[in-house]
Amino acid sequence: MRDDTAPALKRDLGVWSAAAIVLGTMIGSGIFLVPRDMIQSVGSPPWLFAAWIAGGLLSLCGALTYAELATAMPEAGGEYVYLRAAYGPLWGFLYGWTQMWVAKSGSIAAMATGFFYYLADFRPELERVLYTVRLPIGPRGGPLEIRYGQILAIAIILALGLVNYLGVRFGGRLQVGVTALKLGLIGGIIVIGLGGGQGSAAHLVATIPAAGGLGGFFAALVGALWAYDGWNNVSMVSSEIRDPRRSLPRALVAGTAAVIGIYVLANLAYFYVLSPAEVAATPRVASAMISRILGAGWGSAASIAVMISIFAALNGSLLSGARVPYAMARDRLFFAPLARVHPAYGTPGVSILALAGWSAVLVLSGRFEDLYRYVMFASWIVYGMTGLGVILLRRRRPDLERPCRVAGYPWLPILFVAGAAAVTGSTLLKYPRESLLGLGIIFAGLPFYSYWRRRFSR
């Protein structure tokens, strides 16, 4: 039973802030990193562009599907709310459990560490080891090394946590500012690549040896979907968006469509300037492209663009992700203090600090990337279940007001669910160990659900 007299979240986010959350969390480091892995999988730019377009259309189908749920149930928590309504509280809890302990926190830790890796290009001392824990708790069972850069990554996470603690308006304004800067820098990279006069159209049809086939295409598609991931985050802050019935669909659909265009243009610039073999050989494709056109000294400019991109995604993930454990605690299915709303700032302050603090611990662990990989398989199961939830709720809750109905119903949700099933199936075949361990992490929440459920019933 909820306490309706407690302080409530404030609707301080406008349509621009909502769109910035979509753009800012979708465009992280993926567009700068995955082209290499994708071309190694498919072997030719036409197939790579096909994977980018297929992943973008699948994400757009998801955004259109989520728009109906987000406007019908504009509450904090996103998928937690939708899964609870469609399948019952257990599935909502398991989603929120995974987000708090692994998926969202692991993603935040990975992004903050990626920020320090790029900053180490300018300050190599960040790679130095500050302290070594001589116990077999590090990666691959070795000693745990704590580097100066990890301390910086923790400081960035905690600082952004404090900004969002002080008010969703502050976090939203920061998100708009850094997202605008990020889009300007990426736009500059695209213009330099396509207009620098150093490219060749022949690169766009060249080929390299690769796995190819259906397996190679799905491997490239998974990479593209990782770069597109984040389009759903704005639904987690639905209860803090002004006029959500209008703002949410615009932010979801327009933001996702814009990212598709940006990603296709960026890859067009990469492969116009660099051959497929050169892209396959470099982990930092944007830096290599800029260095080819403007000289080696300008490659660092691309690293700055990557850091700003990561910073925006990091802030958006903290802003949105903290609303999931808050929603669980509000329903008395998680630690009670996380349901508190700050009486002055109107934010779920304890939940924000808890997510930031746990993400900081994962930075120190050195294992966060493994944890996040484990739940990629399960994340797309959740997306598919949420898409199917639109159909189930149409039948079970015909009385539910739906200000935005998904176009092409029921075929578009069915297409999204089928795409999610294909992604999870291919991921299971390619990474069976990680996929099964991911499911194990999720279902480890079952005894905790039973505990909180019994406590609530009493």
Q: Name the residue with higher pLDDT: 242 or 376.
A: 242
pLDDT of res. 371: 64
Nearest by Cα to 234 from 20, 9, 3: 20
32 lies in a domain? yes
**Confidence band (pLDDT; 50, 70, 90) for 16?**
confident
pLDDT of residue 132: 85
Q: Which domain holds residue 224?
A: 15-457
pLDDT in tens, 93-126: 999 999 899 888 888 888 888 888 888 878 889 8
Answer whether residue 10 is part of any domain.
no
Q: Tell me, rounded to whole angstroms, the distance of Cα 9 from its chain centroid.
A: 23
Does the pTM surpass 0.95? The reply is: no
pLDDT of residue 458: 62
Within-domain flag for 2:
no
Question: What CATH number did the domain enclosing 178 receive?
Answer: 1.20.1740.10
Task: For residue 5, tell me if it sits in a domain.
Answer: no
Residue 7 lies in a domain: no
- Residue at 8 is within a domain: no
* Per-residue pLDDT, 2: 53
**Nearest by Cα to 175 from 324, 349, 314, 306:** 314
Number of domains the chain contains: 1
| Average pLDDT of every residue of the chain | 88
Determine which helix (DSSP H) or strand (DSSP E) holds 283, and give its type and residue range. none
Tens of pLDDT, residues 422-456:
888 887 887 788 788 878 888 899 999 999 988 87
Residue 6: inside a domain: no
Q: What is the mean pLDDT of residues 158-180?
A: 89
Q: Which residues contact 441 (CB under 8 A, 6 or more apart)?
A: 98, 101, 102, 371, 374, 375, 378
CA 392 to mean position of chain CA atoms: 26
The whole-number average pLDDT for the span 281-309 is: 86
Q: Is residue 168 part of a domain?
A: yes
